[in-house]
Structure 1
Amino acid sequence: MASFFFFFIIIFLSFFHSALLLLNPADHETGGLAVQADDINIVQTRGVLWNNKCDFSVGKWVYDQSYPLYDSTCPYLSTAVTCQKNGRPDSDYEKWKWKPYGCSVPRFDALRFLAKVRRKRIMLVGDSIMRNQWESLVCLVQGVIPTARKRVTYNGPSMAFHAMDFETSIEFFWAPLLVELKRGGPGNKRILHLDLIEENARYWRGADILVFDSAHWWTHSDQTSSWDYYMEGNSLIRNMNPMVAYQKGLSTWAKWVDLNLDPRKTRVIFRSMSPRHNRQNGWKCYNQKQPLPFFSHQHVPGPLIVLQGVLKRMSFPVYLQDITTMTAFRRDGHPSIYRKLITQEEKQKLEGVSSDCSHWCLPGVPDSWNEMLSALL
């Protein structure tokens, strides 16, 4: 009787293991799209898979004197984010490290990261906040590469940093809406095609790691909108709820990923929106020198809710890198008036000086996003 019971247990465990592989065969075949060591909270399609070991999106900012990991003399930084070079008098914003509750994000190690992505193409796709993150990632790795063994190339809407000895490229592709924005029709108007994406997506083919973002341009008001009409099929639409349009555009992206990418060959990550701290929504970023200590109430932005819904309906395993809450604390990390080198007179008057409360000083907040990205890989 005992031997029969033991045999039954063996058969049951074998069946259970096989069932798990059928649920996600790619994890078995590739060594896993799952995360190593410090497991990260992920949204995985065909239902939500939460890893209880560590939720990277929930935690606090801790002051760390050993940061930053590079300085604003990095040659790949655009002028608008080099806040120290532009005269920002304080620098504590460079020294905060994100500490999730219950675990830690490993400190970025450039050589280890490059070893993990050897012979791979990493492409960051999205808007100027994603360009912000691309510059951060390039500056994090470039210091360990000899000058003659690194270069940047340009190809239409994309740019690529090449680490030649590692046969690796870290690329940025400009597609703030993901779907296609074209001119056409009567009056050569700007038309946002909610169901067309191939003109952008053809550049993404062949990448080993794809990181996407798209939210800011979808929430622009009528005065700052980048299009005159929406188009879906043959229908030209003047007005649409922005979140409905966003859902339609993201669904077009999701369909392309499901139909064109193989999870055994390509990893896909979608980074959630980076909050603004501007006056219109009751925040401000000028002269802020500390992260917010807490929130009086927790607000989940509409674009994040839409994004979560789209990802859950996909068949391709897309990882949601949720940086929205952690970044909302950091009203101190924006360029503010230090998006350019301003005169002493301008500093005193602050009249006519535009303040940037959307992008991020570098070194700064996006470095933490990239430490999370490195842990994911």
Structure 2
Amino acid sequence: MEHQAIDELPSGKICPQKPPKNFVLLVSVLLLLTIVQLYHPSIFRSLFLSKTIDSNPQVPSTSSSSSSDHSNVQEDDLPSITSNLKCDIFTGEWVPNPEAPYYTNTTCWAIHEHQNCMKYGRPDAEFMKWKWKPDDCELPVFNPAQFLELVRGKSMAFVGDSVGRNQMQSLICLLSRVEYPIVVSSTEDQRFIRWKYTSYKFTLAAFWTPYLIKSKQVTYTEGPTKNGLFELYLDEFDEAWTTQIDEFDYIILSAGHWFFRSMVYYENQTISGCNYCLIDNVTDIGKQYAYRKAFRTAFKAINSLENFKGITYIRTFAPSHFENGMWNEGGNCLRTKPYRSNETRLEGLDLELYKIQIEEYRKGEREGRKKGLKYRLLDTTQAMLLRPDGHPSRYGHWPNENVTLYNDCVHWCLPGPIDTWSDFLLEMLKMEGMRSAEEKKLRITNDTTLN
């Protein structure tokens, strides 16, 4: 838009007396700020939030508290959106970060006992002193005040298993430098808990659903585990969460390691197969089949909701790092530093599960787009593949305790590498406005072309 100069009035009009120079200067500054806010709102917001951080004595400032504000414009069903046009924030390396950690196991009460590695005697601390460095740009370290400003008045739900809960507890610990939440749950069931950040009117919730779909643990007279066998209803919604997420602005959806258990599959209320059930006349069709169907049904549930208008983030599979045996065969994870990206690669079953997630995500996203719903891919797989040093191992309990997962190479120590998931999430939230604008522009272009 071109703006007419103040003293260029139409012919025949009386030109008013010129205002003082200070007034002209003030008007010019205000006009400039208005233009910046209209055309670059994220820059304007970043300036404000940076000031918020600097003026808050509870929050240590870092050199990476802000990022450049550009969007990674891609086709709709490509997942990445970052602050750099040529950068994929999910591809990179772990680099030393001597400033970490940003909380400790003594300053944050939200750490689950089984992930409290320092409490249970882990002798090394270097696993906490790394940050993720994308190949072609910088990923800012999590800024708690900036995050809380962006989600002010909104709500976020973590939907999934204990690794999803692990992520939520990490986020609570990172936010604790600004504010702790209060419990506002209507139930005492810790699997379905809600928190409130009262100063920001921000609600955080966890919905326990290890398979994302309807399931139950049962006792069989045959099979390898008998009382440890799970029935999965692959085409039925888990109403424990699907009936409660209409009100949420953001959903973080994830699932993975529970699919390694012995399971019996039901479709149309009839047994259709199993995974390592060893039951006569029931065909073992593998865990991949159920994994695909579970995500497909979960996306169908979200897309069928009448009132849900939020954004669904799919957090991708985080590989475990058992060596010298499986979890129940004495396997352990004793490494003390990250891999470099050229030292390992995703392969085998982990790769299959990851590809299934991506494929079903794209199908679900396309269907959701027809209803105006938004899906985003929070792709943590590559970063976590490189962190065999970040698990509790035997430091999630006292040595003489009788626990099911004695060497835990599935969950993540807190503080630890899982804190980087909040770095990813905040960067995606910061770019959401620009991503949405690009998608709207693309839809308008497509509609015009079709017409």
**TM-score bracket for the superposition, by shorter chain length:** 0.7 to 0.9
Any idea what the Cα deviations from partners look like across 1:211-238, whole Å, max 9, x if unmatched?
01112112x1xxx42x3x2111132124
After TM superposition, the score normalised by the length of structure 1 is 0.78
Number of the residue aligned with 1:114: 148
Letter in 2 for 1:194: L
1:236 aligns with 2:271: yes
Judge which range, 317-326 or 253-262, deviates more.
253-262
After TM superposition, the score normalised by the length of structure 2 is 0.66
The CA RMSD measured in Å over matched residues stands at 3.1
- 4+ long deviations beyond 2 Å: 35-44, 47-53, 149-157, 182-191, 237-241, 279-287, 293-300, 314-317
1:293 to 340, 353, 356: 340
SS in 2 for 1:313: helix
1:67 aligns with 2:137: no
1:268 to 312, 322, 328: 312
Number of the residue aligned with 1:97: 131
Q: Structure 1 CA distance, aligned partners of 2:256 and 2:331?
A: 20
1:374 aligns with 2:414: no
User: Which ranges of structure 2 fall in alignment gaps of 5 or more residues?
Assistant: 1-41, 43-66, 222-226, 275-284, 369-373, 430-451
Number of residue-to-residue matches in the alignment: 326
User: Which ranges of structure 1 fall in alignment gaps of 5 or more residues?
Assistant: 1-30, 347-351
Q: Specify whether residues 249 and 151 from structure 1 end up closer, same or farther in structure 2 by C-alpha distance, changes over 3 A only.
A: closer
Q: Specify whether residues 183 and 334 from structure 1 end up closer, same or farther in structure 2 by C-alpha distance, changes over 3 A only.
A: closer
Alignment of 1:137-216 (within 5 A): 137-145=171-179, 150-151=182-183, 153=185, 155=187, 156=189, 157-182=191-216, 190-200=230-240, 201-216=242-257
Q: Which has the higher contact order (CA 8 A, sep 6+)?
A: 1
Q: Specify whether residues 62 and 185 from structure 1 end up closer, same or farther in structure 2 by C-alpha distance, changes over 3 A only.
A: closer
Alignment of 1:226-375 (within 5 A): 227=263, 229-239=264-274, 240-260=285-305, 265-279=309-323, 280=325, 286-296=333-343, 298-300=345-347, 301-314=351-364, 315-316=367-368, 317-342=374-399, 354-375=406-427
Judge which range, 125-134 or 310-319, deviates more.
310-319
Structure exhibiting the larger radius of gyration computed from Cα positions? 2
Residue 284 of structure 1: how far off its partner (Å): 6.6
Letter in 2 for 1:209: Y
- Contact kept, 8 Å, 1:285 with 1:331, in 2: the verdict is no
Judge which range, 120-129 or 236-245, deviates more.
236-245
Number of the residue aligned with 1:5: none
Any idea what the Cα deviations from partners look like across 1:127-171, whole Å, max 9, x if unmatched?
1111110110011112312x6x63463634311221111111111
- Contact kept, 8 Å, 2:139 with 2:427, in 1: the verdict is yes
SS in 1 for 2:196: strand
- Contact kept, 8 Å, 1:293 with 1:329, in 2: the verdict is yes
Number of the residue aligned with 1:123: 157
Q: Specify whether residues 143 and 49 from structure 1 end up closer, same or farther in structure 2 by C-alpha distance, changes over 3 A only.
A: closer
Q: Structure 2 CA distance, aligned partners of 1:60 and 1:67?
A: 16
Q: Specify whether residues 297 and 366 from structure 1 end up closer, same or farther in structure 2 by C-alpha distance, changes over 3 A only.
A: closer
SS in 2 for 1:90: coil
- Contact kept, 8 Å, 1:39 with 1:53, in 2: the verdict is no
Letter in 2 for 1:288: R
Residue 322 of structure 1: how far off its partner (Å): 1.1
